[in-house]
Every structure is written in structure tokens, then in C-alpha cells.
A and B are shown apart, each in its own frame.
Chain A
Amino acid sequence: MSLWVDKYRPTSLAKLDYHKEQASHLRKLVQGGDFPHLLVHGPSGAGKKTRVMCVLRELYGSGVEKLRIEHNNFTTPSNKKLEVVSISSNYHIEVNPSDVGIYDRVVIQEMIKNVAQVNQLDSSSQKDFKVVVLTEVDRLSRDAQHALRRTMEKYMATCRLILVCNSTSKVIPAIRSRCLGVRVAAPSQDEITQVLHSICKKEGLNLPGELAKRIAEKSHGNLRRAILMCEACRVQQYPFSADQEVSEPDWEVFLRDTATMIVQEQSPRRLLEVRGRLYELLSHCIPADVIIKGLLQELLSNCDGELKTEVVQSAAHFEHRLQNGQKAIYHLEAFVARFMAIYKRFLEEGIADLF
């Protein structure tokens, strides 16, 4: 019994639910038996990985689905031992080099050279190149990205790269210019509801349109999340009712409560309480930038127009610091304190105007 997300993942380009035009383009691309390096980018849950797997399947047939997990060992120039887990089939290898932090360059150099320098033995029955799928390319260090540049050109004959990332902003232009960019936009709400309906139909369930729409709204364009939520609803209560509560992750509710607390009172004591809650969130492995974005969303709904600009500016400011800095809690707390200051000043000015 697998999750619906995996169970109903489309396995061929023809079966994709949305971006059909793009799918047909990809199909044409692959039909020639060859393709350039690809850079697949788009927000999470939009179906990047699904498309990559579809392309690979189209290319090599069902052999790509026989996956095995390998542990690769590397040694850095400074004699530090690294271990990277890769998922591979006979035809492709998938690795997330950012797992090893600043040593990602070594992994890329070694791994790709290993794969690329080995020719397929019998090129008449197989494609004469392998595919290396690198995920989270936007988190690669500059060094590693530079290392990719020439490697990509040099081993073009025996190896194709598929790079997957959320945003191309952090990918250096030299790599972008060597790849064919494939943009996977998040599905629209209609598309999400459609997918939900079709899944429920296959499961033999009756999904009210109202509920599907609410799930789609709450998923913020993340299809994976929408399907997971839908499955959670199924576990909670079946038959579905139109006004059924769509369960959200606990931490979101927790975050929302935190935001309400901040708006209710602005004082050092409250700040201390909020800090406790932030620690709680962090210790449950919620990424700091997600926290800051969630807080912002909630706080903004309590602000006036002009205030919003100011709050957004400070959120952006502290999020940037957070990326540069070491400890997330300082910056989260700084943001909360700044918001309190802005908000309180606004309220006091409002009261002063009254009299």
C-alpha cells in the first residue's frame, strides 16, 4: 500500500495531467534518441521530478524503474572521507551533491567523470550515453558549479546531465547557457482539482467539488501537498462531506497562533514567549525561511497598506541575513521584534490622531 502521491504518479509523458504542450515538446525532443543537457526548474510540488522520470522512461524504456541504492565513497584532497548515497538504474544515476555541503565539488568531479568515462559496451542496442540527474542544483556551491561547466562539454558524447532546481537565480549563467531550460510552472487551482477528482475516481471515492476546491486553495499550487491532504481527509472521514475540515499540518496552525500572539501584544515578555515557540518550531525541523514566510503571511493580514510595505521590507532584510548568518533564531527574533516595533508605533500614532 503506497501513498497516493506515488501510486498515481504519471509514468509516461503521454499520461501527464497538465502542461500537455510542454510534454509533447519533450516527447519530440526525446524521440530523436538524444537530447541536450536539461535544466528543469520550477516551484516544489509542480512535477519536476515526475517529468524527468517520464523523459528517462521514454528514452530507455521500463528499465529505468529498476532502481538500486548505492553508497559512493569519495576522498577530498584534504583526505576527508565522504559518503554520498545515489539512486541509480542501469541507465541513469541520481545524486544530490548538496548533501555533502562544501565538498560538493569533489562529488561532482569524481562522480561525473566516473560515469562519463565509461562507454556503454554495446552501443547498437542501447543508447550510447548515460544520464546523470543532479537535484537541488541551486544549493550547489559556486566551486561545484564552475566544475560542472567544462565537464558538461567534455563528456557530452557519453553523458547527459539533467539538473533539477527550484530557481535558476542561483545557477551561474555559464551553466544556464549550456542547458535547455525546462520550466515547470505550478499547476493552477483548476488543474489541481482535476487531478484530485481523477485520483478519487480511480480509488472509487466520491469527492465533492467544494472540498476539492478548498484543498486546492490550501495547497498553494503544490500538487504533492494537495494529494497528501486529500488522502489525509480520506483517512479522517469518509464519505467526504463538502464542509469537512481540511487538516493542515500542525506546525502551520502553531505558526498561525504564534502570529496572532504577536499581533495581540507587543512587549518584551511576549517576545520571550514567542521565542520559545520559535525554538519549538526550529527543533521540529521546520526551515527558518518557511517560518519567516509563514509569519509574514499571517502578520500582513493584520496590517494596513502602508505598513505592509515596511513589514515586507524588514522580512526580506532579515531573511537575507538569515541566509548569511549562522543561527536562525537571532534573525527570526529580530524580525518579530522589528514587527512589534513597527506595529506598536503605528497603533500609538493612531491613538494620538484620535485625540
Chain B
Amino acid sequence: MQAFLKGPGGAPPTKKPVAAQPSASGTSKKDVRQSKKHIPWVEKYRPKTVEDVAYQEEVVAVLQKTLAGSDLPNLLFYGPPGTGKTSTILAAARSLFGPEQFASRVLELNASDERGINVVREKVKKFSQLTASGTRPDGKPCPPYKIVILDEADSMTAPAQAALRRTMEKETKTTRFCLICNYVSRIIEPITSRCAKFRFKPLAETVMADRLNHICKEEGVQIGDTAMQTLMKVSEGDMRKAVMFLQSASRLCGQDDPITDSIIMDITGVVPEDMVDEIIKACHSDSYQTLDETRVNREGYAASQLLGQLHDRVIMMDDLSDKQKSIVAEKMAVVDKCLMDGADEYLQLMALLSTLMQQICHGE
């Protein structure tokens, strides 16, 4: 047997499948183990079929009807990251065309591909002009169109989007478009009006908990209830984030130790509550010196993260009047914008905190 495996050329071809069986299973086991290490859980547990997509009932209903035989409109999926937009369309395309035809029938373009106006004019146009047959090679019926998936469409330039307009209309016979983006406002009006829009909502906690528990069971990860709660809280309805965090945490802990609260807090970069407490306390002191000594910036937390957490606190603060809160909130908005523009974190945070201090100590 071993000798046979070493010399593949020597075996008669008829016997090959039989003999190859054990060797295949042997290597595949190894492969599985290896690939298990390398496939991120995000990919591994991506929904395989449309039914698997959690929590997005409307779009699932539409796509299921399509799978049952009715026509597919041009689609526009939008929603926050990690809600299953890409997964949904990929799963749908896979079940529409089957794995063999998937490659020839689906053109997936995302922001990492070059897709200026030239690509839209040439690649997309050419692809969409090809006719597709209504049957699969094995004779089963399949829809007579192809799908162009434009992932992260909000990073396409407006001219490139404009170049799509006519193509979308003209080629409806042979091609459906699916645009995926985070912000629908960045897609130009003529495109949105040509598509059926679906909003993907952030996942509810119960749905997420189900999925995460399922993954934990599959992977043999131990996680406590409080840690699970924290994980859910920090991932804010973003399933990908949650799964990524879970995998990272399990990697950090190793196989045997259960995942704890602190590890999750650590990898997510959430500012610990007692640190926020300290900052708020410093704001009450009415001394710029104390404020400066809180070491906010030295710890390496992101200012935008801190900003979000401070916002939650300020809204709940009892010793501020509504008017004061609104002043602080407005400043927060300004600071956020400045941070996005690339302004210095230290200065912006100090400006915000000093406003907060002023409102707490001297506001009316």
C-alpha cells in the first residue's frame, strides 16, 4: 500500500479510485485539521444557504421566492458592517447557479479591485452583454441571467456609478446587479431608483447569542455567561466582529481556559469602565491639571472609542441639565468630525473634556 502510494504512476488507472480512497481520506483528514487552523471562523460559519441568513426576514423572503422560480430584481443591500450583506448574495447566487456555474455566472467586484469608470465601461459591460442559457450543463433549469456583485459600492466614484445607469437598464435581460454598501446615501439617486432596496439591520442579541453558542459548541470553546454578554455588548450587532472576537479570544486563551470578561475587553479595545469613571471624576475637579494627568492618551485607547463611551455616560448624567447636555453633545459632534479629519487626538480630547468640565462646574 505504501509503495503504491509512493509510485502513483505504477498503478492501473481502473483501480485508482478504490486505492485512492484511503489515501484521500488520510490526507483529507490532515487537510481538514490544517485548514481548520487557517480558515477564519468568519468564513467557516458564513451562511451557506439563504435560509441560514439570520434575522433579515424581508430579503430572505424575496430571495427565496427567486429561488423558487420568480424573477430577481436589481438589488441594493445596505446596512452596517457584519450584518450579512455579502453572505446573503453569495449564498443566493450559489444556490441559483450551483457550484460549477458559479464562477462563470457571477462577477464579483469590490473596492480592492480596480473599478474606475473604465472597468465599468469595459469589464462590467462586456460581462453583462453575454447571454446566459436557461439550463445547467446537467440539464436542470437555472435562471437565464448572470449576477454582477458590486461590493462596497459606496467607495465607487460618482462618474463610475453614473456609467452603470444605462448598462443596468439595457442589460436587464441577461444580467442582474447587486450593489452592496454601508451608506445608501453615497449611492447616486438614479442607481438607487433602479434597485430594490433592502436594509440589513444590526442583529438582535438573542439571534447573535444562538449563533455564537452554536459556534462555541462546534469549536469546543468555553465561555462564561458574563463574558458572552460583554462580547455581545461590544460587538453592537456586528456578527463578523463578534465571531472575530470570539476566535481571537479563544486563540489567546488556548484550548483549556474559559474565555473571561477581561480578555474580551482587552482585545476589543474598549476603554475600561473605571478609566471612564476616573476621567469623569477629573472633570468634576474643576482643575485642568488633574484633567491633564489622567493619562488618557498614553494608554493607547482610541479617542473615537472613548468619545462613544463618554457620550453614553454624559447622556445618563444626573447633575447636568438638558441644555448643558446638549452643549456637550454638540461639542462631541464637532470633536468627532475633527477626529475624522485627522486632527490630533490629544488636543481634541482635551478640548472636549474641558468643555465638559466647564459645564459640570460652571454651567447653569
Interface residues of A (CB under 8 A from B): 22, 25, 28-29, 32-36, 41-43, 46, 77, 109, 128-129, 142-143, 146-151, 153-154, 156-157, 167-170, 173-174, 176-186, 220-221, 289, 292-293, 296, 300, 305-306, 308-309, 312-313, 315-317, 319-320, 323-324
Contacts and interface: CB of A to CB of B under 8 A. Distances in A.
A156 to B, nearest CB: 6
A114 to B, nearest CB: 13
B300 A185 contact: yes
Contacts of B342: 170, 323
- Which 7 A-B residue pairings sit nearest by Cβ, starting from the closest? A316-B351, A42-B300, A168-B302, A146-B111, A320-B343, A186-B298, A180-B248
B217 interface: no
Chain A: interface secondary structure?
A: helix
A149 B111 contact: yes
B234 to A, nearest CB: 11
Contact of A41 (B251, B298, B302): B302
Given A146-B152, A300-B288, A309 B300 contact: no
B299 A109 contact: no
A149 B288 contact: no
Interface in B1-48: 37-40, 42-43
B300 A184 contact: yes
B261 interface: no
Given A43-B300, A147-B111, A309-B354, A293 B343 contact: no
Contact of B82 (A25, A177, A179): A177
Nearest to B286: A305
Nearest to A151: B112
A312 B302 contact: no
B268 A309 contact: no
- The residue in A28, A32, A169, A305 that gathers the most chain B C-beta atoms within 10 A of its C-beta is A169
Contact of A34 (B38, B43, B303, B357): B38
A170 B345 CA distance: 10
A143 B37 contact: no
Contacts of A34: 37-38
B258 interface: no
Contacts of B43: 153, 156
Contacts of A43: 297-298, 300
